[in-house]
Amino acid sequence: MSRGEAAVRVGGLVKTYARRNVVDGLDFEVATGEIFALLGPNGAGKTTTTEILEGHRTRDAGEVTVLGVDPQQVDRAWRARIGIVLQSVGDYRDLTVAEVVRHFAGYFPRPRDPAEVIELVGLTEQSRTRNAKLSGGQRRRLDVALGILGHPELLFLDEPTTGFDPEARRQFWGLIRSLRAEGTTIVLTTHYLEEAEQLADRVAVINQGRLRALDTPDRLGGRDRAPAIVSWTDPETGPQRVESTEPTRIVRELLARLPQDAEIPGLSVHQPTLEEIYLRMVGHDADAGAESDAGAESDAAPAPAVPTGKEQR
């Protein structure tokens, strides 16, 4: 993929709580127009890292630039250039979907049309529904609507499809692809490995505050070179299983033993999935030994996903 200049640059990033580095020397870049996924077990340092990039937490060491600016020295104009979808935001129980979106549209210098945004996230039929009566998935769609309302150059998505059913999740993926096609840079954190594989141009795996791997989903951790497992049933000896970096050759050899047009009984060829590669990196018990990010909450609480005053104009 041909990528643009870096929208995000991170060098030697460190964040320490209770004399422990929850982010421990991270180095990576996110290109303009790229969908970049951050993966890692709970407590790996993903949330702390993204909050530093968003300007909601201070770092203890390292260099960070986001859209060409140090996020510790940002102004209102910079904040209007980014969009944020946190894991949870304000409730707005007594307002309808349309009222919430129209209200927050006034905080941005060049907002999208509120009705268009509501349609993009699939809430047109609920536009007159009060927030208190929305389902969890619908409320999450409203969170996404507020994140993209300001027409951001850079969009942070933290577990954006939590609570979505499979159909809604795939519709959301289409929205993310359309935003990327418009030139929006997207930083995504997710526990859905399929989501990362479907959307991300590149994937970074973080564990215990350190970068463990960074590559395209199909090449992460040597996935493109890992052996496949070819399985079939031999009529005489029963189930067979072979690991090979040349699975096509194995299948051809099996076919050569059979009459023309015959099928190989029970044939399957399994290539390593992104999830399998990921679990090998972080361990099958993803939470074991990982430090908790809970201590980060003793720092300043993250700012909300959308502006909270007309000063954003």
Which pLDDT score is estimated for 4? 56
- Could you read off the pLDDT tens digit of each residue along the chain, which spans 313 residues? 345 579 999 999 999 998 899 999 999 999 999 999 999 998 899 999 999 999 999 999 999 999 999 999 999 899 999 999 877 656 688 899 999 999 999 988 889 999 999 998 889 999 999 988 988 888 888 988 999 999 999 999 988 887 788 888 888 899 899 999 989 999 999 988 999 999 999 999 999 999 999 999 999 999 989 999 999 999 889 999 999 999 999 999 999 988 888 899 999 999 999 999 999 888 844 444 433 444 444 343 444 444 443 444 3
Instruction: Spell out the domain ranges in the chain.
Output: 6-221+277-306, 227-271
Which residues touch 287 (CB under 8 Å, ≥6 apart)?
41, 42, 43
CATH number assigned to the domain covering 6-221+277-306? 3.40.50.300
Cα-trace Rg, the chain: 23
* Class of residue 173 by CB neighbours under 10 A (exposed 0-12, middle 13-18, buried 19+): middle
CA distance 75 to 71: 9
The angle, 0 to 180 degrees and rounded to 10, between the axes of the packed helices 166-181 and 136-148 is 0
Question: What predicted TM-score, i.e. pTM, was given to this entire model?
Answer: 0.81
CA distance 13 to 21: 10
Helix (H) or strand (E) holding 157, with range, is strand 154-158
